[in-house]
Amino acid sequence: MAKYSVVIPAYNAARTIAETLRSVAAQSLAPAEIIVVDDGSTDETEAATRQSGVGIRYVRQDNAGPGSATTRGFALTSHPHIATVDADDLWLPEKIERQFRRLEEMPQLAAVFTLWRTFRHGEADTGTGQVVPGWSRTTMLVRRDVALAVGPVIDPPGNRGEMIDWLGRAREDGHQFGMIDEVLSLRRILPGSMSYGRDPERDRGYLEVARMAMLRRKLKNSGQG
Amino acid sequence: MGFSSIYAVSGSDIVYETFDGDAVVLDLASGRYFGFSDSGSCVWEALIAHVSPASLVGRDCGSGVIAADDLDAFIARLGEYGLLSPAAEVAPTALSPELAARLAAARDGLKIDMHDELADLVMVDPIHDVDEPAGWPAVRQ
C-alpha cells in the first residue's frame, strides 16, 4: 500500500494541534510517519503534541515562518508521498485514501487536493460552513520528488501567501494538480490564527507573491528563466 | 471615465504596493493581479493620491508627453478592471516632484497587464472569511 509522510508546521497551536493530530491518526490509510515542525512556539504546543496520544516526530526550530517550517518538514520525510496539514485544521477519515485512489487513476498528477469546509473553533461542526476548493497546505498530498524539486516554501512578509507562491511555482514548472470534488478536509475559523482576517501588513505578503510571479515571467520572457 | 473626476482605489479588496518603482495591484476578491509599465506605475500612484487626470495631460513622460487619449484609455482600463472609481468630494492634490521626475524618466507608454494564473489560489485564501461576528471586519464593503 502507498506510504506517506505527514508534515505539520505549527506555531502557538496548543489549542488545536491535538485535534489535528487525531484526525491524521484516524485516517483509513494510516501515515507511515508524522512530523511536527514547531516554528518556535511560545505556548504549550510541544506539550499538547506529546500528550495527544499520537506517535509523532517533533522537531523545533527558531521562529522563521510557516514556509520555512514546511520546507524543513519536507526535508525530513522519507516516504514517496507527503501530506501536509496546518496545525489547526482537520482531515476527514477517508481523505488520504481517496487521494491515493485519484493518484492511481491519474498517475500524471503531481499532487491532489480536496474541497474543504469551514467550521468555527469551539463550536460543533454543523456541516454548513463554506465549501471551496482547498488549494492549500491542509488538503495537499504531493509526490515527494515534486515537493523537493519545486524548492523551498518561501515566506513572504506577514507570513501569508507562501503556499500561493509555492503552488504557483509548481504549476509554472509544469506539474499538474488534481482536485477531488468532495469535502475531505475542514478549515478552522479561529480569530487570531495566522490565516484569519485582513491586515495591511499581511496583505503585503500577497503583493510580494504577485511581484515575484511577474519577475519570474519577465525573466522567462527574456530567455534567462 | 474622463477627466472631470478625481479617482480613488475601488474598495478594500484592492491592495497595492510599489516595489522599486514598480506598482503591483491585487484584487483580493477576484484573485487577479496587475503590473504596469514604468509610466503606468507613476500614473497609478498619482491617481490614487488624488492627482487630477487633467493635470497629468501634457506632462513630460519619457521622450514625449502624456496624451489625453492615452490617459483616457488607461483610466478606462483601470475602471474596467475594477481598480479605480471616481471619488466624490475629494480635493485634488498636486503631483509630487518625485513622481513627476519618475514620470519624466519613464521609458514606456501607459500600460497595465492583468494576470489571473494565481486567481484560484488567491481566491481560496482565508481572508475571505469575514463573517465572524466577533472578528474582523465587522462590515464588509
C-alpha cell belonging to residue A72? 524543513
Amino acid letter, residue A43 = D
pLDDT of residue B139 exceeding 70, the answer is no
Q: Is residue A35 part of a domain?
A: yes
Residues of chain B positioned with their CB less than 8 A from the CB of A200: 15
What's the pLDDT at B104?
95
What's the pLDDT at A225?
56
pLDDT of residue B88 exceeding 70, the answer is yes
What's the pLDDT at B133?
35
Q: Is residue A143 part of a domain?
A: yes
Number of H helices, E strands in chain B: 5, 8
Domain boundaries, chain B: 6-119
pLDDT of residue A192 exceeding 70, the answer is no
| CB neighbour list of residue A92: distance below 8 Å, 6 or more residues apart | A23, A183, A184, A185, A186
Q: Is residue A208 part of a domain?
A: no
A204: confidence class by pLDDT, cuts 50, 70, 90:
confident
What's the pLDDT at B2?
54
Amino acid letter, residue A157 = P
Give the residue numbers spanning the domain of A110. 4-154+170-192
What's the pLDDT at B140?
30
Distance from C-alpha of A67 to C-alpha of A196, rounded to nearest angstrom: 17
Question: How confident is the model over B21-67, as pLDDT tens digits?
Answer: 999 999 998 999 999 999 999 999 999 999 999 999 999 998 899 99
Q: Is residue A82 part of a domain?
A: yes
Question: How confident is the model over B109-132, as pLDDT tens digits?
Answer: 999 999 999 999 988 865 444 433
Q: Work out how many domains chain A is built from and give that number.
A: 1
ipTM score of the complex? 0.87
Question: How confident is the model over A148-175, as pLDDT tens digits?
Answer: 999 999 999 877 899 999 999 999 999 9
* The Cα angle at residue A165 between residues A163 and A166, in degrees rounded to 5: 60
Question: How confident is the model over A3-39, as pLDDT tens digits?
Answer: 999 999 999 999 999 999 999 999 999 999 999 999 9
Distance from C-alpha of B141 to C-alpha of B139, rounded to nearest angstrom: 6
Question: What is the average pLDDT score of chain A?
Answer: 93
Asked if B132 lies within 8 A of A200 by C-beta distance, the reply is no
Residues of chain B positioned with their CB less than 8 A from the CB of A191: 132, 134-136
Asked if A196 lies within 8 A of B24 by C-beta distance, the reply is no
Taking alpha carbons only, the member of B69, B140, B141, B56 closest to residue B106 is B56
| Shortest Cα distance, chain B CAs vs residue A80, angstroms | 25
Burial B81-95 (b: 16+ CB within 10 A, else e): bebbbebeeeeeeeb
CATH code of the domain in which A146 resides: 3.90.550.10
Distance from C-alpha of A84 to C-alpha of A137, rounded to nearest angstrom: 6
Name the pTM for this structure.
0.90
Q: Quick one: average pLDDT of A64-85? A: 97
